[in-house]
Amino acid sequence: MTSWSFPSSTRLRVSCLLAAAMLFVASRAPAQNTNVHGSLGLDQIQTQSQPIGFAVPCLQGTDFCLPPTFDTQDDPAALAQGCTSIKQPQTMRVVAFCFDPFTGLPIPGANITLQVKARDGSGGHLHTDANRPPGKFDPSSGLVGSDNLLHTVFTAPDVSGITEATVFATLPDGTTCIPATATIGTELSGLSAIPASGAGYTTTPSTGHDSNNIFANPSVGANLQQVPVEFNVVVQLLVFIGFLPPQSTPTLTYTSLSLTYGGLFDVDQNDTRSITNPWHPPHCGHRRGVEADLRIKNVPLQLRPALIMAITDQHFTMPVRSENPTNPTASHWHLRAR
């Protein structure tokens, strides 16, 4: 059996047209009945302030894209970790239908079923633990309406990456439409990686993500790189005026920023070389490129006031009580951009 799908350049042109018209974006394959095909397209009416940018390709090369949902309210594991209860779903209206490729028209009476699957290894998550959330359609099945379309809403998962959405359809006479699969990218745009090491700092890879853990908003990333520079200046000034004995300034280590496309950042909490609770916190934040964890085990107590000064001067707060200077046993400080 052979199959084909739109090349990336064609996908982009079709996606641009979808913003104004209801054309299909799908892959298709020859089957027993070559007269009817399933398809998935954007609805003419978008929800919320849906920031789908059809003038530029999706970052992961998908047919559609939208930002990740931020939902700790419905995640018992997140609430158990003390995460603030937040529910900020990101949605996209789409239509599913069965169409005649010779006329391009949707066919009446089709019974539609939508299936979703998360693609392993996407979104900066290299681990392939089970039960990765793919997002969901509501409704995920049903008969087309009077316009011969099934109107549905896709809600993005908290986890960034690629979802494969497949349309199945059956006509009233029992004819099965050729299934079609489109890809949906859950992604936060605008993040970039800081250098893995620089003046006065280094980074560590993350279990399950390798070096995909050093992404941030560009201005936040620039400020993170300035923290160790200012820290060194302050320490050496204190040494120069005799307030501190001669010493070198410790190298700072950033352990977690955000993943490549933002979204939920699951971690190896217990240093077991495997994710502690896949697809869930303990990281409540680290989703939007504005937070970083800074290891402080190697920073002597007498130098920490200088480090606090550098952190605040570079426009960061430390809002998590268990991960800031008020906790003497903290192994790292959680920085959040103001």
Q: Is residue 65 part of a domain?
A: yes
Q: Is residue 142 part of a domain?
A: yes
- Which CATH number is 321's domain given? 3.30.1380.10
Give the C-alpha separation, 88 to 86, whole Å. Answer: 6
Same domain, 138 and 200: no
- Tokens 């010493």 identify what position? 247
Tell me if 330 is assigned to some domain: yes
Cβ within 8 Å of residue 48, ≥6 positions away:
90, 91
pLDDT > 80? residue 55: no
Q: Which of 186, 209, 230 is the last residue before a domain boundary?
A: 186
Are residues 217 and 146 both part of a single domain? no
Q: Which of 129, 154, 186 is the last residue of a domain?
A: 186
Query: What domain range includes position 245?
Result: 192-337
pLDDT score recorded for residue 40: 79
pLDDT top residue among 236 and 41: 236
Domain boundary among the residues 186, 203, 226 is at 186
Q: Based on the fold, state whether residues 131 and 196 are members of the same structural domain.
A: no
- Read off the pLDDT of each residue in 2-23 and give the average, rounded to a whole number: 29
| Average pLDDT rounded to a whole number, residues 290-298 | 97
Using the predicted structure, report yes or no on whether residue 168 has a pLDDT greater than 90: yes
- pLDDT score at 12: 26
Would you call 233 exposed, middle or buried from its count of C-beta atoms within 10 A (0-12, 13-18, 19+)? Answer: middle
> Are 167 and 212 part of one and the same domain?
no
Cβ distance 170 to 176 under 8 Å?
yes
Question: Is the predicted pLDDT of residue 235 greater than 80, yes or no?
Answer: yes
Query: 263 and 140 in one domain?
Result: no
Distance CA 25, CA 33 (A): 20
- Spatial separation of the C-alpha atoms in residues 132 and 177, rounded to whole Å: 28
Does one domain contain both 319 and 208?
yes
CATH number at residue 90: 2.20.130.20
pLDDT band for 56, please (50, 70, 90 cuts).
low
Residues 200 and 271 in one domain: yes
- CA torsion, ordered 12, 16, 19, 24, to nearest 10 deg: -50
Q: Looking at the structure, do residues 168 and 58 belong to the same domain, yes or no?
A: yes
Tell me if 3 is assigned to some domain: no
In a domain, 2, yes or no: no
Element (H, E) at 161: strand 161-170
Q: Are 228 and 269 in a shared domain?
A: yes
pLDDT for 123 beyond 80? yes
Q: Which of 47-51, 173-177, 249-253 has the lowest mean pLDDT?
A: 47-51
In a domain, 146, yes or no: yes
Instruction: Establish if 75 belongs to a structural domain.
Output: yes
Same domain, 25 and 81: yes
Evaluate whether residue 145 is within a structural domain.
yes
321 versus 119: the higher-pLDDT residue is 119
Answer whether 137's CB lies under 8 Å from 184's CB.
no
Placement of tokens 């502690």 in the chain: 276
Over residues 257-281, the pLDDT tens digits come to: 999 999 999 877 767 777 788 898 8
Residue 74 has a pLDDT of 87
Q: What is the mean pLDDT of the chain?
A: 85
Nearest CA among 290, 325, 288 for reference residue 306: 325
Residues 175 and 209 in one domain: no
Which of 19-28, 40-49, 168-177 is predicted with the least confidence, judged by mean pLDDT?
19-28
Interval 134-145: pLDDT, tens: 999 999 999 999
Over residues 245-255, the mean pLDDT reads 97
Q: Could you give the number of structural domains in the chain?
A: 2
User: What is the β-pairing status of strands 215-216 and 252-256?
Assistant: unpaired
Q: Stretch 211-223: mean pLDDT, rounded?
A: 97
The rounded Cα 39 to chain-centroid distance in angstroms is: 25
Distance of CA 263 to the CA centre of its chain: 3
Does residue 150 sit in the same domain as residue 228?
no
Q: What is the mean pLDDT of residues 205-222?
A: 95
| Model confidence at 232: pLDDT above 90 | yes
Task: Give me 201's structure tokens.
Answer: 């700092």
pLDDT tens string 66-81: 999 999 898 887 788 7
In terms of Cα–Cα distance, which of 130, 313, 107, 332 is closest to 224? Answer: 313
Write down the pLDDT at residue 57: 83
